Amino acid sequence: MNEVAQKRIKELKEKITAAVAGNLGASFAENTRARLTLLLAEAGLQHSEGIVFSYLQNHPEQEEAIIAGSKFGSEEIETFLLDLLKQQRSAHRDLIVEQLGMRKKPELVGKLQPYLADADRHVRFQTANALFNIGGKEAALALCEYISDPDEWISMTILRLLCIMRELESIPILIEKYHQDEDLRRKALMISFLARFRSVTLLPIFDEGIQARDARLRANSIEAIGNLSLTPDEIKGRVEEHLHDPNNRIRANAILAIAKLEPEKIKPEIQEMVASNDVQLRRSAAFILGMIPSGEYHDLGAALVADKSEVVRKRMIQSLRNFSSEFVFNQLDLALSDQNKWIRKHAIDMAARLSKFPHKKILGLLKTERAAPNLEACLNFFTFHPIEEALTAIKLHVKDRRLPVVKALLSAVAAIGGVEGVKSVAPRLEQRDPQVIRALSEILIKAGERKILEDLVERFAQLKHENQVEALIPSLTSSLKIIEQGDSMPEPLLKSFEKIEVSERPLAPARPPVPVAEPSESEDALPPAVDEVLKESREEASDYEESDEIDLDLDLGSGAAGDAEMPGLLSLGDLGGGQPTEEKPVRKPVKKPVSEKPKVSPHYRAGLKAYNVGKYKKALVEFGRLLETEQKPPNNVYLYMGLMQCEQENYEQARDYLQTFLGKEPDHSRANFVLGKVYRQLKLWNGLIEVYERFIGGELEASPKMKTKIYHDLGIACVLVARYERGAQLLDSLLKLQPDDAEIGYYLALSHFHMNKISSAGQILHQASKTATGNKRISKLIEALAIKVRSGGI
């Protein structure tokens, strides 16, 4: 970081400090004054220490005061905090211990150790964490003395921290505590923590645990032994007998231990787990596949991705990171259509890690997902895969008020459209929410918009209204944390701080004036001397980067409004565009206008005429122009566009138009029916099920012909997503009406086969094979299933 950047950052901190100091004298609520004090400490200027310490002395009951005081390393503040800690009636004693631990001073170990025996369990908990933060042999031995705390929350915390610290001097004490404890659950946890030492001296404990009756104790002991530096024979002799244990964790840990020694030996064991009827065994198999080399296990991974149990599918999706990209692409395509929203979310997260993952599927989900975690995952995908095509779909969610979604949306827009893209969505955000203001300012500042930060500071210095001051504190706090990163701050912002601007360059030495002749009265050109100066300025300015700053229009208002609203707090809709704020016109009394018929677009007329006579190509062009030119086109245009795109087999476009139409008219029967047909073509089975179940349930009306099609497609979709009972119910009803339909017979037999009704599956297949003549696809499917049926199952 160069001197220019250091100077600018120091000036910003000084301005913030001055503004905060001025507001501390205002008649604000004490909570607001406490937050201002913390902001003052975040600025970190040394001359602020006195103000912060004074506030801490007068208001030790405020959490922000304690945190603010801890920002300074003076002995005086440290002594004051230790004195507060000694007073049993002091507020936030646990916070005081936590802040003292963050100083990481070894000399504090002796002063904090007595609080491991404090009457307040929260103080004991934070003391343990404080000693862990300080670290070292003395801190570890101090923790060892209190490992038998009667509160299990504290004792297990101390044990976990000791095992992370891995101070060898603590091992004998931990072994002694293990033998003294009689609670099997705690002993199992202790084994798990002790395994982190990976010390052979602990082998006798693990050998004892592997012989225990408690399954958790045995599973954790096997895992610990597998991670020790023992000979292959020593590990196999202890672990091999547990490869067929009925407990899923014991078997999984045994397989993982053997996998490091004899990888070829474990495949039959994993195959057996995958084929098991026990959900937990299949889930453990999915876990194993994420921990071992995956080249030989693609078939097992694919089977678990399509497993009928949601917990198995979810675990397998998480394990896909261990597989090749090509395999993951194929499996995620299935997982992204899963009916379980969490499986879809994990699949989207996985897709975001793959540099060449096709974006169309995620773009479709971005338009249909409603759960915040899923929507956030879709937006994060486009942050890592900035594709301009996605920008329109992203902006559809700009009114979402859930903060994680807002943050993800801003990140995605910034990745695709840069600063200008963020500015385009800013006016539509909920700008009265301080956290939204913070998210917006963070994105812009990290993108290098230093002027945004400077304007925030300038406007904050002018604020007098308490609500407005409170609203900007989070933004300034996060901004200070960004610039405190120094050379590690985002590169665009660092360059912006380091850039030498024209106004900051050294002035050129004065030159003697050049005598010139007086221009005639009619001469329009600039005087030669002025023209020469301008030319020289332009030439000199070319050696520097010109400032391309933007002006953040923070319309502060008068501050006289009530507390319920914060008028004009941040006019972030005009983020530095340099445009004057548009004033609202003064209302004048006008005559009541004569009502006019609404104007109909010529594109709408032409499109409707072409649609009615079946000229779909022309209708698509006219309706497309209508959608481009009209802000609020008639909603039925989306219906017509969806129907025509479906007719022309452009199914993804058809889906988008129909979903837009149904957003306003969700009970339109024809639109829902066609959307179901589109979902079938796109193989979005869960979407099809959701739509067509509304017809079956009587929410939507359907003609007899439509009902037959609905039963047919819905039954097949249920079978394909492993809802075999529902699929069998629908297809059985339909087969009675259409006994010669081989496709219905095949899928009905398939559902019976998966429900272990092997006999009935065989009978249905036999009948279906008689009517499948001429249908090669169904005939091959029937033949393949018949082989499985004859063998008695999978």
For residue range 36-60, list pLDDT tens digits in order. Answer: 999 999 998 988 899 999 999 999 9
| CA distances in angstroms from 376 to 515, 725, 773, listed in the order given | 69, 34, 50
Give 739's contacts (C-beta < 8 A, 6+ positions apart): 767, 771
Backbone phi, then psi, for 575, in 5-degree steps? -70, 85
pLDDT tier at 513 (50, 70, 90 boundaries)? very low
What is the C-alpha separation between 27 and 23, in angstroms, rounded?
8
- Whether residue 694 lies inside any domain: the answer is yes
Which pLDDT belongs to residue 586?
Answer: 45
Angle at which helix 434-446 crosses helix 403-425, to 10 degrees, equals 60
Residue 378 pLDDT > 90? yes
What is the C-alpha separation between 181 and 404, in angstroms, rounded?
44
In sequence order, what are the beta bridge partners of 577? Answer: 551
| CA distances in angstroms from 167 to 144, 201, 594, listed in the order given | 11, 14, 88
CB-based contact 11:504 (threshold 8 Å): no
Radius of gyration of the chain (CA): 35
Tokens of 168: 């060898």
Concatenating the DSSP letter of every residue in 563-629 gives: TT--TTS--GGGEEB-PPPPPPPPP---PPPPP-PPP--HHHHHHHHHHHTT-HHHHHHHHHHHHHH
Of 260-274, 599-613, 712-726, least confident by mean pLDDT is 599-613
What is the C-alpha separation between 38 and 32, in angstroms, rounded?
10
| CA distances in angstroms from 203 to 252, 261, 342, 708, listed in the order given | 20, 19, 40, 68
pLDDT tier at 542 (50, 70, 90 boundaries)? very low
Concatenating the DSSP letter of every residue in 82-149 gives: HHHHH-TT-TTHHHHHHHHHTT--GGGHHHHGGGGG-S-HHHHHHHHHHHHHH-SHHHHHHHHTTTT-
Backbone phi, then psi, for 761, in 5-degree steps? -60, -40
- Whether residue 663 lies inside any domain: the answer is yes
CATH number at residue 680: 1.25.40.10
Strand boundaries in 334-411, DSSP class E? none
What is the C-alpha separation between 690 and 670, in angstroms, rounded?
15
Which pLDDT belongs to residue 793?
Answer: 57
pLDDT tier at 608 (50, 70, 90 boundaries)? confident
pLDDT tier at 598 (50, 70, 90 boundaries)? low
H or E stretch covering 552? strand 551-552
- Whether residue 777 lies inside any domain: the answer is yes
pLDDT tier at 568 (50, 70, 90 boundaries)? very low
Mean pLDDT over 490-511 rounds to: 67
Provide the whole-model pTM.
0.61
Domain residues for the domain of 712 are: 602-791
Which pLDDT belongs to residue 283?
Answer: 93
For residue range 146-175, list pLDDT tens digits in order. Answer: 888 888 899 889 988 988 888 888 888 888
Tokens of 123: 């103080």
- Whether residue 766 lies inside any domain: the answer is yes
Tokens of 723: 């809802």
CB-based contact 728:755 (threshold 8 Å): yes
Which pLDDT belongs to residue 564?
Answer: 36
Which pLDDT belongs to residue 597?
Answer: 52
What is the C-alpha separation between 782 and 794, in angstroms, rounded?
15
Tokens of 758: 């092997």
For residue range 688-745, list pLDDT tens digits in order. Answer: 999 998 888 778 888 878 888 998 999 999 999 888 888 998 898 888 878 888 899 9
Tokens of 702: 């359907």
Report the chain's mean pLDDT, rounded to a whole number.
83
What is the C-alpha separation between 697 and 688, in angstroms, rounded?
14
Which amino acid would we find at residue 14? E
For residue range 634-679, list pLDDT tens digits in order. Answer: 888 899 999 999 988 889 889 989 998 998 888 899 999 999 999 9
Residue 534 pLDDT > 50? no
Residue 530 pLDDT > 50? no
Burial (CB count within 10 angstroms: exposed 0-12, middle 13-18, buried 19+), residue 86: exposed
CB-based contact 448:457 (threshold 8 Å): no
CB-based contact 459:473 (threshold 8 Å): no
Residue 399 pLDDT > 50? yes
Which pLDDT belongs to residue 126?
Answer: 95
CB-based contact 603:625 (threshold 8 Å): yes
Task: Residue 543: name the closest of 505, 489, 569, 576 by CA.
Answer: 505
Tokens of 763: 């009978």
Q: Which residues of 42-72 are buried (b: 16+ CB within 10 A; e: fewer)?
A: bbeeeebbebbbebbeeebebbbbbbbbbbb
CB-based contact 497:485 (threshold 8 Å): no
- Whether residue 379 lies inside any domain: the answer is no
Domain count for the chain, please give it: 1
Which pLDDT belongs to residue 501?
Answer: 62
What is the C-alpha separation between 529 and 258, in angstroms, rounded?
89
Task: Residue 285: name the closest of 319, 310, 308 by CA.
Answer: 319
Which pLDDT belongs to residue 132?
Answer: 94
For residue range 85-115, list pLDDT tens digits in order. Answer: 999 888 899 999 999 999 999 999 999 999 9
Which amino acid would we find at residue 440? L
Which pLDDT belongs to residue 658?
Answer: 93
Backbone phi, then psi, for 577, in 5-degree steps? -75, -10
- CB count within 10 Å of CB 633 equals 17
Residue 290, helix vs strand vs coil: coil
- Whether residue 266 lies inside any domain: the answer is no
Residue 632, helix vs strand vs coil: coil
The percent of residues in the chain predicted with pLDDT above 70, rounded, is 87
Looking at per-residue confidence, does 430 or 707 come out higher?
707
- CB count within 10 Å of CB 403 equals 16
Which pLDDT belongs to residue 499?
Answer: 80
pLDDT tier at 26 (50, 70, 90 boundaries)? confident
Of 136-140, 493-497, 500-504, least confident by mean pLDDT is 500-504
- Whether residue 635 lies inside any domain: the answer is yes
Residue 517 pLDDT > 50? no
DSSP 577: B
What is the C-alpha separation between 254 and 484, in angstroms, rounded?
48
H or E stretch covering 19? helix 3-24
- Whether residue 721 lies inside any domain: the answer is yes
The percent of residues in the chain predicted with pLDDT above 90, rounded, is 34
Residue 576, helix vs strand vs coil: strand
Q: Which residues of 408-426 are buried (b: 16+ CB within 10 A; e: fewer)?
A: bbbbbbbbbbebebbbbbb
| CA distances in angstroms from 512 to 307, 515, 528, 529, listed in the order given | 88, 9, 14, 11
Task: Residue 495: name the closest of 528, 539, 449, 527 by CA.
Answer: 449
Burial (CB count within 10 angstroms: exposed 0-12, middle 13-18, buried 19+), residue 33: buried
Give 47's contacts (C-beta < 8 A, 6+ positions apart): 17
